[in-house]
Amino acid sequence: MKKTTFVIGNWKLNPSSLTDAVKLTAEVTKKYKADEQTVVAVAPGYLHIADVTKKIGRKAIAVAAQDVATEPMGPFTGEVSALQLRDLKVSFVIIGHSERRAMGETDEIVQKKIQVALKYNLIPVICIGEKDRDAKGDFYSFVEKQIKAIASVLTAAQIKKVVIAYEPIWAIGTGKTATAADVKEMQLFLFSTLTKLYDRPTAAKVPLLYGGSVKKENALELHKDGGMDGFLVGGASLKADDFISIINATKR
């Protein structure tokens, strides 16, 4: 059986108006042809989630949030909880994005967010990835440490309910993409690390995504030769045609 492929568009702090967010949703929804093997999601800003969901209607496009509070409710000014996201029919939540880690999010906070997301039936899309690539390959131990921090709070049954996105920081928004060979090497490393921490059948159930300057021009090669289960797309997900091209590249 063919594995499921995931393509998730992380809109980050874009677009600047609700009208534009709904317009982008309408374009993606109109052009997207659903199939059984592909899961497509868009991650708008919190303020746009309700209208984006409404615009998607019955089309098979899921909605993701870009973050979640560590607590389900209570006196936490400015936070948005898993319960609130669930109530708006959000399915996925991006956790531990490097842009949030850069604002002080630690492995411990990431662990709490993963646990609260699972508790309220949101699928965590957990981001990992090194800042720089060194010739000696020390970045592998950095990534391993991040995986271990995640695994330390998840049973085998739970890790099968998360998605892991490898997003090397140096490739995010820079136009510098990892090569398909780099991505393949990391996919093998992540798989073997998860196999050591759990077992092979469990590791095989964890979808692994690549993110970092994925574009319509490089998606086909990265998907064919990179060996991952899909993409987490930033900038290119803000143009409907580009996003659809990337989705289609994973089907070829």
How far is 62 from 14, CA to CA, in rounded Å?
A: 18
Judged by beta carbon, residue 44 or residue 212, the one nearer ligand 13P is 212
**Contact stretch for ligand 13P (CB under 6 A) within 55-63, 151-159, 178-186, 231-239:** 231-239
167 in catalytic set: yes
Please identify which of the residues 97, 99, 130, 223 carries the catalytic annotation: 97
Interaction of residue 173 with ligand 13P, rule CB under 6 A? yes
Cβ 152 to ligand 13P, closest distance in Å? 24
**Torsion angle of C-alpha atoms 218, 220, 225, 230, degrees rounded to 10:** 100
Regarding 212 and contact with ligand 13P (CB under 6 A), the answer is: yes
Contact 73, 43 (CB under 8 A): no
Task: Look up 97 and say whether it is catalytic.
Answer: yes
Instruction: Indicate the residue among 69 and 214 with the shorter CB distance to ligand 13P.
Output: 214
Q: Which residue from 50, 49, 44 is spatially nearest to 14, judged by alpha carbons?
A: 44
By CB atoms closer than 10 A (0-12, 13-18, 19+), residue 100 is middle
Q: What is the DSSP string of 45-86?
A: -GGGHHHHHHHHTTSS-EEEES---SSSSSS-TT---HHHHH
| Longest distance between any two alpha carbons in the chain, whole Å | 49
Residues 51-80, interacting with ligand 13P (CB under 6 A): none
How near is the Cβ of 116 to ligand 13P at its closest, in Å?
20
Which CB atom, from 48 or from 97, has the smaller least distance to ligand 13P? 97
Ranges within 10-49 binding ligand 13P (CB under 6 A): 10
Cβ within 8 Å of residue 195, ≥6 positions away? 202, 203
Which residues in 80-119 contact ligand 13P (CB under 6 A)? 97
What is the smallest separation between the CB atom of 172 and ligand 13P, expressed in angstroms? Answer: 4
For the four alpha carbons of 63, 244, 102 and 206, in that order, the dihedral sign comes to positive
Examine residue 233 and tell whether it contacts ligand 13P (CB under 6 A).
yes
Q: Which residues contact 130 (CB under 8 A, 6 or more apart)?
A: 139, 142, 143, 168, 169, 170
Q: Does residue number 167 form part of the binding site for ligand 13P (CB under 6 A)? A: yes
Q: Give the residue closest to ligand 13P by C-beta.
A: 234
Segment interacting with ligand 13P, rule: CB under 6 A, options 17-25, 46-54, 67-75, 166-174: 166-174
Residue 99's H or E segment, with its range, is: helix 98-101
Shortest Cβ 75–ligand 13P spacing (Å): 30
Using rule CB under 6 A, residue 232 touches ligand 13P:
yes
Catalytic residue positions, numbered: 97, 167
- Interface positions with ligand 13P (CB under 6 A): 10, 97, 167, 172-173, 211-214, 232-236
